[in-house]
Structure 1
């Protein structure tokens, strides 16, 4: 077998590493002449091997002095120097270090980074920090307006949940007030004097979300803060963290969140040490998690961890009797924001609002009232129908869309087809549960549905208390 010189082998391995690196690298000898660049360097600068190798270290510079020559002169590394390189005048940041072998200077190696990429990441990080708000919980249950049976049931369940350490899952459409419930649950709990941290999982890029939630160690990635950074779970220790739109988490982040809930500990990005935490998790979603599980988009084990205390917040269209109370409450805030003194709505205006379907829920109602106040003259104190012109076309279209959904029954009564189907389904499930004396496994088998789906329908139709009666 032919003997291989170890030094030659090491040189080849080193060159292979440099050539395969995603970092843009250039190497010069002790005289300042280029001896090696890698493909990443060519992609970034637009300079080929022929234009750099064998040429002076200044050959690639469009603007600025050569850091290679400076390092060869001082034998000290330089970092974070900004300059322009190549025919495209690429704006870069340069780090250069001397190559010293057995005490002898043999050359220098430089790594350059695209400034535009760094700026883009910085802007994304700034945006993420604006989206992620750390604040004290400012709402209580007295701020949740609604006397309807559905809303009172949700409030009672939330108050019950506040007294336990269990994870709460707030379910409801966008604009129904899930964040208000999260604030109120924290303020009603024994954690109310500790931090309440809100995270919008849907509004932050996946690459940033993990490091923001769990923190990172020094050197975990380019630009990582010296000494590392605590994540939001660490910040919320002994307090509560509100994970809004939890259904939008990626499978990878779902797995890490599951570990937090199971082990009560986190591991920072780039780290190996488990850090114990004591955090109350309040999650919220406006998507159907059962459907997401069936499609493989949401982990089943995480679903059971966060679904210990589900609270369904009803949409505004299902509690239109609460509109007068909501209007009175929202107008107080709008008057303060706009410097007005609007006293309320006329009966006609209230009836007009109650005809609408409110797909945007309470958030949309606040928007409509704010626009109505803007349209009013300063001497007017009551909102009338003509101040709310935008709903008319939508109400008419809504009525038109709903016409095919009704069925005339004997006596002229009208019932929505969807409601009839749900009533029929609830009766079948109730009868099956009663027949099986509350045995849910056997009931699910007989009905040909999954046990998970049965539990969902029992809760949906409020059959838990009378399933065996």
Structure 2
């Protein structure tokens, strides 16, 4: 048991007191404050804890820990001189940091637990068995259907090597090869016959981190087929099985005309029996050849074909087998397994991961490219700024990379695990700016109050871009926030809280704004203590090759291309241009050059650059962009128009369109869905 003395019974001391009262291994011996009405002293009276106004009376030998939350350096120094060598003296700033970290950790754990519970509910509601392994072949998830088929509990299976539960499992092989295995028959250790499909689990970068299998019990169907000999009974039983199956089933005759479909087929394809029965087998296909016709021609089964079918372009896996009676071909039967929902769940998981990444800083100092003197000085200053908590001012022309620097400073600081929030002050209505920053409160209930960005970023960093566009009244309140040790959470209550780290940026003349009385002079001096000037691209043209190489990696990911480099002539053209739009304009020019390139080309040539540096015969240095447009919106509009034109030229044929644009069919479908062109 650790004996604790708390010096300071204000808001900070009260928080620490309440925390320690819930810990079994710590005992508060006393709490001290000069103000006899301090809230911490009132709690001590109620709890029967010793209290007073002079800490010296309570500084005895059995005190193990002393919390100083007075904020008074003189008190801290006096305590430091008085405590025993074996007594730990903790300043209030450290104590508040520990409390904040504990509370944040608890909230994060509860959030992750909720997500895991939802995912577990989804997996357990699926009829098919599902089991997954990590890179070491250890089972890391299993649903209830799989437990029932394997006759094991999830608590027993989790953490076991897969071969302990399923000796003949090929999941470790699928992880190593990265290749799926579809519709493989397997007999489980308990004798249950299943059909299993196995898939590698890949990151967004294509790296395998595990594998999973989906399997169905087919033993009942096989047993019934073996026991029933009467033709009519077989027909009746097969029809019942087909109609009760969750998988879509279609049957065609020897000529390839439909003779039977089940309700699941209608649900997946959107086609009724009348639209299929008696019609050719190609009626439900949007792209590709008919697997039914291929099976009828070869008299061999075809398994694991990925296709898109129906009005909704559903992703399916198709298995088709011939129907042979007395050695004569009578038709074929196809089983269509809808994997749209599974892929939808994977997309949702990817989206959740993106949200988590967005809560963190996107860039680091390694993303700032260049070795010229001006940019090296700016980087050195930014690295120093990352080690401090004082406000930082970033100055530079539009497109020089001020947001990149702000991200890097956050990533290099002790706050990197917390939120990085950006607010473009020029894009927010001035009438609501104050509410966005400081939030609002409802007097009836603090639980319903809307918090501001300063409070949301309390443990992290708030980046105010184009800070000169802040209304003058908001500037004054921001100055008060920066100068005070705490901010009010509501008009009726003042509670201490950790402050956000502030980084501001501007492309405008701050000194002129002060002279015009549109920017608060005191706020200027407060923010300008650490000012970093980011040089324009025209002053560091020697850095262009390194920047261009870095941008190619990013643009290849966005466009689904594989452009490796630029020719020397292309780099010369880039270095001869003055870049009024700075790095942002360089990215725009490279983007347009890649769009204009011929399919399959891996190198940007001088002609591609010169074509991108002109628009309708005018130089890009002249204003040609719409006033309110951003680079992202312009590129999206242009990419959409290119996709529409390519589809029109190839009469909607997506395979030819993908070949023409030099991208994969999968990338094309992603872009068509993004711009709602399908």
TM range (shorter): 0.5 to 0.7
Cα deviation, residue 161, structure 1: 1.0
Give the gaps of 5 or more residues in structure 1.
1-132, 399-469
> Over aligned residue pairs, what C-alpha RMSD do you find?
2.3
> Runs (4+) of structure 1 moved beyond 6 Å?
none
Is the aligned partner of 1:370 residue 2:591?
yes
- Cα distance in 1, alignment partners of residues 420 and 455 from structure 2: 12
- Cα distance in 2, alignment partners of residues 368 and 178 from structure 1: 20
- Cα distance in 1, alignment partners of residues 602 and 498 from structure 2: 53
Question: Do the aligned partners of 2:472 and 2:518 also contact (CA within 8 Å) in 1?
Answer: yes
Q: Give the counterpart of 1:179 among 400, 403, 406.
A: 403
- Cα distance in 2, alignment partners of residues 174 and 154 from structure 1: 16
TM-score normalised by structure 2 residue count = 0.37
Partner of 1:231: 452
Partner of 2:523: 302
Is the aligned partner of 1:163 residue 2:360?
no
Deviations 1:389-436 (A, max 9, x none): 1425556988xxxxxxxxxxxxxxxxxxxxxxxxxxxxxxxxxxxxxx
Cα deviation, residue 325, structure 1: 0.5
Return closer, same or farther for 1:154/1:355 CA change in 2, 3 Å cut-off.
same
Q: Give the counterpart of 1:246 among 467, 470, 475.
A: 467
Partner of 2:430: 206
- Cα distance in 1, alignment partners of residues 417 and 548 from structure 2: 31
Larger Rg computed on CA atoms: 2
Return closer, same or farther for 1:395/1:352 CA change in 2, 3 Å cut-off.
farther
- Cα distance in 2, alignment partners of residues 340 and 180 from structure 1: 24
Which gives a bigger RCO, structure 1 or 2 (Cα 8 Å, sep 6+)?
Answer: 1
Return closer, same or farther for 1:144/1:308 CA change in 2, 3 Å cut-off.
same
Q: Give the counterpart of 1:146 among 349, 362, 370.
A: 370
1:107-118 pair list within 5 angstroms: none
Give the gaps of 5 or more residues in structure 2.
1-356, 623-678
Return closer, same or farther for 1:194/1:208 CA change in 2, 3 Å cut-off.
same
Is the aligned partner of 1:338 residue 2:559?
yes
Cα deviation, residue 338, structure 1: 1.0
Partner of 1:137: 361
Deviations 1:258-308 (A, max 9, x none): 001110333357666465432211111111101100111101000011111
Question: Do the aligned partners of 1:328 and 1:344 also contact (CA within 8 Å) in 2?
Answer: yes
1:42-441 pair list within 5 angstroms: 135-218=359-442, 227-267=448-488, 273=494, 276-388=497-609, 389-391=611-613
Return closer, same or farther for 1:255/1:307 CA change in 2, 3 Å cut-off.
same
- Cα distance in 2, alignment partners of residues 162 and 260 from structure 1: 21
**Matched pairs, number:** 263
TM-score normalised by structure 1 residue count = 0.53
Partner of 2:352: none
Helix, strand or coil at the partner of 1:191: coil
Helix, strand or coil at the partner of 2:487: strand
Return closer, same or farther for 1:277/1:350 CA change in 2, 3 Å cut-off.
same
- Cα distance in 1, alignment partners of residues 620 and 467 from structure 2: 36
Deviations 1:198-232 (A, max 9, x none): 11111111222211211111169xxx997211111
Question: Do the aligned partners of 1:214 and 1:267 also contact (CA within 8 Å) in 2?
Answer: no
1:11-30 pair list within 5 angstroms: none
